[in-house]
C-alpha cells in the first residue's frame, strides 16, 4: 500500500472518531454508530496494509 492509502485510512479513522463523539454528544445514535463503523473499517484496512508490507 502506498502513502496515499495510509493517509486515507488515517483520515477515515479520524473522521470516524469525530462522528462518534459528535453523535454521542448530540444523542444521535445513528451518527455514533456510523463513526464506530468507520473506525472499524479503517482498522481492518490498516491490518491488511501491515500484512502486505510484511510480505514485501
pLDDT at 50: 87
- On the 0-12 / 13-18 / 19+ scale of CB atoms within 10 A, 3 is exposed
> Beta-strand (E) ranges in 1-56?
none
pTM over the 0.75 mark: yes
Q: Are 1 and 53 in contact (CB under 8 A)?
A: yes
pLDDT tens digit string along 10-48? 999 999 999 999 999 999 999 999 999 999 999 999 999
How confident is the prediction for the chain on average, in pLDDT? 93
pLDDT at 53: 85
Amino acid at each position: 500500500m502506498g502513502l496515499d492509502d495510509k493517509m486515507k485510512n488515517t483520515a477515515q479513522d479520524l473522521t470516524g472518531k469525530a462522528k462518534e463523539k459528535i453523535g454521542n454528544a448530540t444523542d444521535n445514535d445513528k451518527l455514533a454508530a456510523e463513526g464506530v463503523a468507520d473506525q472499524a473499517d479503517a482498522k481492518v484496512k490498516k491490518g491488511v496494509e501491515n500484512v502486505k508490507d510484511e510480505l514485501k
